[in-house]
Every structure is written in structure tokens, then in C-alpha cells.
Amino acid sequence: MSVSIASLPPQIQQRYNAKLLSTPEHNLIHNLFASPVELPDNNGFIDRQSRYDRLDLFEVPLDDAQSNPPPQQLNRVDVDCRVRVYATYMVLTRQVTITNEDPVLNSAAARLGQALRETQDALQRDNLESSASIINCVGKRQSAHVKSSLIDFKLLVA
């Protein structure tokens, strides 16, 4: 008995057709650990985030009189973020009925959603790449000079 797509029930044919015609999607990994922030309405396009510096350790116990230790200064660093708006749209040249199950509108909404997530992922990737710091070790220096540089680096870090 030979099995072909034409001999399968219509529900299974539809499933295979959907799999065959589906659009491949990327693994969206760059936005996994992001902290989304919502802006209040009518607040403009500038978001101010604040970060506080660490305090010094206080490893000395209080004396018997329980007098206050010297105070520490709390420093705050403000970072102003400018919010940018990205958008796209599509024009349908086919007359569709405005229902929940129109296949053209469903496909269009799915493609817009996929484009949105891929755009967010690409923007987050570019943001991470722009703030990454590396030590570039490419060059044609003598090995003794490189070893001394590594020793100096270890002394600097220690």
C-alpha cells in the first residue's frame, strides 16, 4: 500500500501543507535576560534610570557604648535613555473580510509579529555588541614582549 499526500485525510493534509509552507524563524536569544521598562503615558521620549554605587564594607564591630560609626556617602548615577520608536506596516492588495479567521490577515499578523521579534533581537544584539569590552591579542610581537605584558597585566590586576 502506497501512501501519498492526496490519500491522507483533509486535516492531516492541512497540517503537512502548513509545515511545508511555514516560514523559518530564528532563535531569538539576545532579549532573554533583558529588563523591560514601561514608560508612563505622556512622559516624553526620555527615561531616567538611576543606579546607586556600592557602600564600603563595615568589618569593625561597634564599641561597648554602641556609638554610631562614621557615616558613608551614598552616590547615585543617573542615566538618561532616549526612547526611539521603530515601526513598519503592510498594505494588502486583496479584499479580505474582517473576521478572526481570515487566512490572509492571520498570515499577515504572524509575519508582522515575527518581524517585530527579530527586529527587537537584532537591536538588542547590536546594543550588546556596542558595549562589550575585549582585549585584542592579535599582532606580531616578540613572545618575550607578550609575556612581559601579561606579567604587567597580572600585577596591575592584583
Report yes or no on 111 lying in a domain: yes
pLDDT at 68: 87
Please say whether the beta carbons of 94 and 104 come within 8 A. yes
Report yes or no on 105 lying in a domain: yes
Domain span including residue 104: 88-129
Report yes or no on 30 lying in a domain: no
Report yes or no on 119 lying in a domain: yes
pLDDT in tens, 65-82: 888 888 899 999 998 888
Report yes or no on 53 lying in a domain: no
Report yes or no on 113 lying in a domain: yes
Give the total number of structural domains in the chain. 1
Report yes or no on 108 lying in a domain: yes
Report yes or no on 106 lying in a domain: yes
CA dihedral 41, 108, 86, 121 (to 10 degrees): 100
pLDDT in tens, 97-113: 777 677 888 888 889 99
pLDDT in tens, 7-63: 777 777 777 777 777 777 778 888 888 888 888 888 888 888 889 999 998 888 888
**Binning pLDDT at 50, 70 and 90, where does residue 83 land?**
confident
pLDDT at 37: 80
